[in-house]
Amino acid sequence: MAHMSPSNIGGGEMSDIWGWTDPLDDSEYAIIGREAGTSFIDITDPINPLYLGQLPTHTSNSIWRDIKVHNNYAYIVSEAGGHGMQIFDLTRLRNVSFPPETFTEDGHFSGFGSAHNLVINETTGHAFSVGGSTASGGLHIIDLANPTNPVTIGTFSEDGYTHDAQVVTYSGPDSQHIGKEIAFACNENTVTIVDVSSPNDAVELSSPGYSGSAYTHQGWLTEDHRYFLSNDELDEYYFGGNTKTFIWDVQDLDAPTLLGTFTGTTSAIDHNLYTHQGRCYQSNYRAGLRILDLDDIANGNLEEVAYFDVYPTSNAPAFNGTWSNYPYFASGNVIVSHIENGLYILRPTLDPPPPPCPADLNGDGYMTVVDVLIILGDFGCSSGCEGDLDGDDMTTVVDVLTILGEFGSACPE
């Protein structure tokens, strides 16, 4: 759809990328980390993206810069010394009269100095800095209830350094943990699962390792919370072989198992991956964006169905090419950050996803008592509700009646 070179979006090398959709008019924006700060690009017209401006780094330059979004605010961390967490009100992007502008922070959190990454559970409004200068590099837990003045509410350091993580309000098949806040942390040589429901008393549930690990880097759950896909950033680099994706069965959070591995078609290093609508979107450095179908994941099988090569001259295991991607825009557009070459805006051509089954809240293909319990636990919610089946942003008696009306039925094939 479009490509913007580094010189057109602030300059320097690129790193992490995230997205924001304006709830006012559904405009779409790319937010991309750079050595000297963070850039904001209006991609609502993906053929003609507009660079709106940049937020400079809080301290010094660093290639490691990570962004997440919650309730129309961007939260930005970096490995730059003393950087802390920058806070930027994204609604300011609606009224940029003379782009590109140099923006200022709307808030700053100094409860830690440097951090490698940032994770946000948008259901609870909790942020988790990882790989930072506190909690032995583990989870530093922050409440974002006051978006420009967040506060620390706990830490977890028992398993040491966490490189990246995903934190969710759990709605998978393990009934013992439904409704709890669960962290899936990639801790260099393990996938460590932690119950962070009580932030000041987080409890490790399990910490499985695997043969041939070199650096357990990052991972993401399938949308039904049954499986966790992880990557290892250094196995291709040190041991050779093609890109490998690890498939974890996490249906028992206290005893997850390695179900299988998927071997890609190139020898490139894998970096960041995300799942969306039954597919996995991987940023694999020189091999570019790779898209995998998850239809047969229960049998330990994945299938590559599309790719976009951002480094066509080589797929060698080296640290060039794409850093990350963001596949969650309603438009279907996917944004990809390229360390040396800037921003790519892509539109994958894929088969349509399976028919929606909104009342199947735990993703097992059936409307059962588990789904009823989930919606009853969410009853009365008024924003960002898991049990909102009719799209009114609330969980009400209408949603309860909907799920009761479908009770016992199976999702359409």
pLDDT on residue 283: 98
pLDDT on residue 363: 81
* Average pLDDT for 169-175: 96
Say whether 290 sits in a helix, a strand or coil. strand
pLDDT on residue 291: 98
In this prediction, residue 391 has a pLDDT band, given cuts at 50, 70 and 90, of: confident
Q: Is 306 exposed, middle or buried (0-12, 13-18, 19+ CB in 10 A)?
A: middle
| CATH 3.40.50.720 assigned to 2-346 | no
pLDDT in tens, 40-74: 999 999 999 999 999 999 999 999 999 999 999 99
CATH of domain 356-413: 1.10.1330.10
Q: Where in the chain is the domain with CATH 1.10.1330.10?
A: 356-413
Q: Is the pLDDT of residue 413 over 90?
A: no
pLDDT on residue 353: 56
pLDDT in tens, 357-388: 888 888 888 889 988 899 898 889 887 788 88
- For residue 141, is it left (φ>0), alpha (ψ between -120 and 50) or beta? beta
Residue 6 near residue 12, CB atoms below 8 Å: yes
Transcribe 174-242 into DSSP letters. -GGGTTSEEEEEE-BS-EEEEE-SSGGG-EEEE----TT-S-EEEEEE-TTSSEEEEEETTHHHHH-SS
pLDDT in tens, 271-327: 999 999 999 999 999 999 999 999 999 999 999 999 999 999 999 999 999 999 999
Q: Which residue has the tokens 């799942």?
A: 275
Task: Please report the beta strands in 222-339, taking only residues with DSSP state E, as ranges in sequence order.
Answer: 227-232, 244-249, 257-263, 272-276, 279-283, 289-293, 303-308, 322-326, 334-338
* Average pLDDT for 89-115: 98
pLDDT on residue 403: 87
Q: Is the pLDDT of residue 406 over 90?
A: no
d(Cα 6, Cα 14) in Å, to the nearest integer?
A: 8
In this prediction, residue 405 has a pLDDT band, given cuts at 50, 70 and 90, of: confident
Mean pLDDT estimate for the chain: 95
Say whether 99 sits in a helix, a strand or coil. coil
Q: Where in the chain is the domain with CATH 2.130.10.10?
A: 2-346
pLDDT on residue 383: 79
pLDDT on residue 355: 62
Q: Is the pLDDT of residue 352 over 80?
A: no
Q: What are phi and psi of 405, to 5 degrees?
A: -70, -25
pLDDT on residue 362: 85
Give exposure, 96-112, as e/b (b: 16+ Cβ within 10 Å). beeebbebebbbebebb
Q: Is the pLDDT of residue 16 over 90?
A: yes
- Per DSSP, 362 falls in state T
Residue type, 343: L
